[in-house]
Amino acid sequence: MDVLKRIGEQVKGNPVVIYMKGTPQFPQCGFSMRAAAALQECAVPFAYVNVLQDPEVFENLPRYAEWPTFPQIYIDGELVGGCDITLELHASGELKTMMEQAVAKSEAAGS
C-alpha cells in the first residue's frame, strides 16, 4: 500500500492521532513528550504512530499535510499542528473539547 494512502487511512480512521517520536509512555523527543502529555491530560482516548518505528511514515508524513516537523496531531481528520499549537489549545481548554467532539462524532458514525 502506498504510504500516503496508509497515512490517510490512519488519520481518517482515528478521531485523534499523534505522529510522534516514540510512544506516549516512552517519548523519544521533548516536543513529542509535551504534546503527548497534553493529549493524555485530556483523558480522551487517542491513537499514536511511532514514526521512529516506521521509516516510510517518518520520511513521507511531512508531505501529507505540508507540515515539516514532528509531532503532528490530527483531530477529526484534520491537522491541528505540532507541539506549540497543541500546548496552546490545551492551556485554553480547547484541546479537550476538540478531542471529545471528534470521538463523539466517530462513535455516532459507528466507526
Q: From the annotation, which residues make up the binding site for [2Fe-2S] cluster? A: 29
Query: Could you tell me which residues are annotated as the binding site?
Result: 29
Alpha helices of 1-111 — where are they, by DSSP H? 3-13, 30-41, 55-64, 83-92, 94-108
Q: What does the CA dihedral 9, 90, 50, 31 come to, rounded to 10 degrees?
A: 140
**Looking at the DSSP assignment, which residues form a beta bridge with residue 44?**
none
Residue 56 grid coordinates: 516510510
